[in-house]
Amino acid sequence: MTKMPGKFSRIAIANRGEVAVRIIKACEELGIETVLLHSEADINSRAYRMATKTICIGPAATAESYLNIEANINGALAGGAQAIHPGFGFLSENADFAEAVGKAGLTFIGPSAESIRSLGDKVHCKELAKKAGLPLVPGYQGENQQVPNLITEAERIGYPVIVKAAAGGGGRGMKLIKSSAEAAELIESAQREAQSAFGSPKVFLEKYLDRAKHIEFQIFGDATGNVVHFFDRECSVQRRHQKIIEEATSPSLTEELRRRMGEAACAIATLGKYKGAGTVEFLLQDGEFYLLEVNTRLQVEHPVTEEVLGVDLVKMQILTAQGEYIHDPKMIRVPRGHSIECRIYAENPFLGGVPSTGLLGHVEWPEGPGRRYEYGFDSGDTITPYYDPMIAKVIVWDESRPRAIQKMIHVLKDSVVFGVHTNIPYLIEILSHKEFVMGTMTTRFIETYFADPIKEPELTDTEKKIAAAALAQARGTQQASVTASASASPWMTYWRGI
């Protein structure tokens, strides 16, 4: 936080979609007005309708809107905000943005620019961790970025090796090198992607752990700089290095291992003088854990932590930025029950996950105890090709992991999304797989069991009639019977989430 101006009366949101809605809700509970800084493509989105005030900051292209530092700051000032919440993605881990926000007389709701530079840069973070004695995956984080040198280092480490963007995250700029024959091409490709996505071609190398679990700890630094952790999440179910399903707490940790990893997470965050919400990510293999990276922002999967601990991380972020949130040492936080989150993507699961855009004819999330939905689109909104295809997050809580799994399957089967394909059938198959049920999945789970598109189910005559009726309603036509009889699969254009 770059400034402590007291309580905020209005906060600008430099983001979109479900995270913008999440921040608006937290602000509403605190009695704070909001200014949504949106692109031309996000007019009439759910966040647009919910915000107190909206300001268009540019066209759909992210470089000209959501990634434009000057446009975001000017929008916040014009909207009368005292602070900016960056959400996740876009500028949320950009130290230059955090610094510029402070220089403009606004408060950045997140860690300081210094902390972002110290921990958010993957290479610098590993150097800091090395000084603190934290275990690291064998690799190369040097300054010599010449391709021949990187190939030499990869061969020293031993294949398979993974090359990652130093300023990256979310799988962008990340390539798996299995042999020397493909090293040069993949390193150059990673450097180009890193330059395009993060503005820096710098990469580093790590030994690829092929039986690892992805475990992360939610850390939080209060207004005084005191850092604690809010336990762990398991995020091993990943496709192309991007998480699909997350849960809290991890079924893979013993209490002794959980204690050691939690202490390591707090140690690196304390070294980075961290304030606000952040996440320390580890790889776990054969009983040993290794620091992966630190994400200096709110995490997409933060709701599962909130569900098992009964906290509101976004409200805590805002209160910390106001200088008000202090950890209470008398409050002992103990995880209760189990929570699972599934990311709902607008994509076709029967064609390998190709994006599916268009009008959302009808959306319905089934209500009930232990169910929570984070979404940025309502019926009648449009999924555009400009941004991440995630349209919602479904979160469940129950008394045990087996019960939470069954609840999630039930909720997904009852969820209704007409107008675009979704990955809901894909998620149900993953949740039903024996390795997921047993909790033994690794980061290669998807690659091993779900490399091919799933098979499209045969529809009953009743389902075809229901789909045809919904199709007609959504299009405002009376052609349902014609469509049902003419197409063997009306779901090719409209999909119900079962």
Contacts (Cβ under 8 Å, ≥6 apart) of 298: 19, 87, 88, 92, 277, 313, 314, 317
Element spanning 49, H or E? helix 46-50
Give catalytic status of residue 297 as yes or no: yes
State whether residue 34 is helix, strand or coil: strand
The DSSP bridge partners found for residue 56 are: 38
* DSSP strand pairing (347-348 vs 362-364): unpaired
Instruction: Please pick, among 233, 297, 343, 371, the residue that the annotation labels catalytic.
Output: 297
- The continuous run of DSSP H or E covering 12 comes out as strand 10-13
Angstrom distance (rounded) from CA 86 to CA 93: 9
Residue 289: in which H helix or E strand, if any?
Answer: strand 288-295
In the beta sheet, which residues pair with residue 39?
A: 58
Element (H, E) at 207: strand 203-207
Orientation of helix 313-321 relative to helix 17-29, angle to 10°: 70
Closest Cα partner for 278 from 472, 86, 468, 426?
A: 86
71 vs 61: CA distance, rounded Å: 13
How far CA 491 is from CA of 201, 366, 389, 399, 450, in Å, comes to 42, 21, 19, 35, 22
Nearest CA to 206 out of 159, 166, 161 is that of 161
Residues with catalytic annotation?
297
